[in-house]
Structure 1
Amino acid sequence: MRFAIITGASKGLGASIAERMITEKVGVIAVSRTENAELKEKASVNQVFYQHFSCNLAVPEEVEKCFHEILSLLDSKKPEITYVINNAGAIDPITTVGTLDHQALVQNVNVNLTAPMVITNTLLKLRGSKLKIVNVSSGAAERPIQGWSAYCSTKAGLNMFTETAAAELQTAGSDHEIIAFSPGIMDTDMQSTIRSSSKEAFFDLEKFKEYKEQGLLRPAETVANALVNLLFGDQVESGKIYRVNDLI
């Protein structure tokens, strides 16, 4: 028996990953503020385990409570392999340093960095199931993008957390694996948010509008399949930062 825990599973890349997992007869634990009814129906039709947990990942206390409940569920199910996809992400605030809204800044850090750290820390207490953890990163983790100081910083932090956790697991002789995955530019709601920002707040605004106009945004389904294919293979290198362009 295999399970997949997917944050941000209600739409975009998260929903596409969940759909593929259900097709592959992998039980899905979806974590998001709202539930995707189509996923629930697809799981029912395919006779695959599915459960949704409502959680606001911007609130660390909610994350801790939610994942202790998930940990108890997994203890009772005893899956052979548990895939953990820390997919949920926040792009806002999009603006230059000096004009950042502090509440939005804290929410960004909580969703993009604190939540995956808390989730990983909690689930590593699971016994009897191999964990394959994926932290969804971004190319923005590797270069400065004007207007994205929060997003770039949190994704860079997530990459370093991934590499450090992998080194610790290796030293401990654990067979758990943890990687980061950079999905590239996709046709999702996040891209819509980016395109709706202002030139003053986001220097590269016109470039991102051109991505959409020129059809350069990959479908989320394509990216999801590349990631799941990687996870189902035997060549995952723990601690590595994988980029979608190297997998497609």
Structure 2
Amino acid sequence: MKRSQFIITGASRGIGEQLSLMLLENGFPVTGIARGQSERLMQQPGYTHIHYDLADHDGLDALIQSQIHTVQDDIELVCLINNAGMLEPLKAIERCSAKEIEHHFQVSLVTPIILTSAFIRHTKKLNIKRKVINLTSGSGTYPAPHMSVYCTAKAGINMFTQCVGAEQQFTENSVEIIAVDPGMVDTDMQRQARSQDREAFEMGPAFQQAYETGQLLAKEEIGRHLLRLIGVSFDTGKLVMYSDG
């Protein structure tokens, strides 16, 4: 892989934490952006943590600008990984409050859009490869009861990725943007889904069955998969499935 520098949202746990650890172990500097922090990451040389609530959109442009200013002279690739997201509300749409719906879209859809916009703008003068990876889900394609907000946000991420890819396709020094569906991974989100009241959340038994039958992938495997995808060039705007790797 080229000498690279990374900005990763939601780096304090789950896939974001695992991927950050693997990148750091390979000698790549990583900036993690999250409300919480990972003690494992804080002990790693090359890691910078930014404590930030990604629902606050006012400071996102300045945040990205400040990080682009830290890109080192020998860097050949700078990569933004929009990993942060949320699962709730997991209930029928008429039971979701306006506040719950708004907060979900702020974090899971609007924030990646704003960060991508800022990243493209502030890296435009860099004569290096620029890449954006948006973490998506099969839920962006397949509808599920009691998951309408989550599924809609992921469908939005998919369409956003494809639209920006179409914009970048014929742009000089274009940004490679892809959306990656990692499949079903054993993360806190999966545990959260399994822990829901089965009467209130219709999909709960399906999540439990996936866990009990060993269908969930380990975070380490997804981390290795994402490392491979970072080092591969794709047509900008492509939706990449786990099976594609």
How many angstroms does 1:65 deviate by? 3.9
Distance 2:75 2:99 in 1: 39
Corresponding residue number in structure 2 for 1:95: 91
TM-score w.r.t. the length of structure 2 is 0.92
Corresponding residue number in structure 1 for 2:25: 23
Corresponding residue number in structure 2 for 1:104: 100
Q: Which runs of 5+ in 1 are unaligned?
A: none
Name the SS of the counterpart of 2:79 in structure 1: strand
Contact 1:83 1:133 (8 Å CA) reproduced: yes
User: Where in structure 2 are the equivalents of 1:1-40 lying within 5 Å?
Assistant: 1-40=3-42
Contact 1:55 1:63 (8 Å CA) reproduced: no
User: Where in structure 2 are the equivalents of 1:1-248 lying within 5 Å?
Assistant: 1-41=3-43, 43-44=44-45, 49-74=46-71, 79-125=75-121, 126=123, 127-128=125-126, 129-233=128-232, 235-247=233-245
Distance 2:88 2:74 in 1: 38
Distance 1:139 1:26 in 2: 29
CA offsets, 1:119-146, max 9 Å, x none? 0100112121321110000000001110
TM-score w.r.t. the length of structure 1 is 0.91
In structure 1, what residue type is equivalent to 2:226?
L
Larger deviation: 199-208 or 177-186? 199-208
How many angstroms does 1:177 deviate by? 0.2
Contact 2:33 2:51 (8 Å CA) reproduced: yes
In structure 2, what residue type is equivalent to 1:116?
P
In structure 1, what residue type is equivalent to 2:166?
A
In structure 1, what residue type is equivalent to 2:165?
A
Contact 1:179 1:240 (8 Å CA) reproduced: yes
Name the SS of the counterpart of 1:202 in structure 2: coil
In structure 1, what residue type is equivalent to 2:96?
L
CA offsets, 1:161-196, max 9 Å, x none? 100101111132333200000011111100111112
Contact 2:168 2:236 (8 Å CA) reproduced: no
Q: Which runs of 5+ in 2 are unaligned?
A: none
CA offsets, 1:192-248, max 9 Å, x none? 111122234322211111111222211111011111112113x4221111111232x
Distance 1:114 1:72 in 2: 24
Structural RMSD (CA):
1.6
In structure 1, what residue type is equivalent to 2:161?
T
Contact 1:56 1:62 (8 Å CA) reproduced: no
Distance 1:61 1:183 in 2: 30
Name the SS of the counterpart of 1:124 in structure 2: helix
Name the SS of the counterpart of 2:169 in structure 1: helix
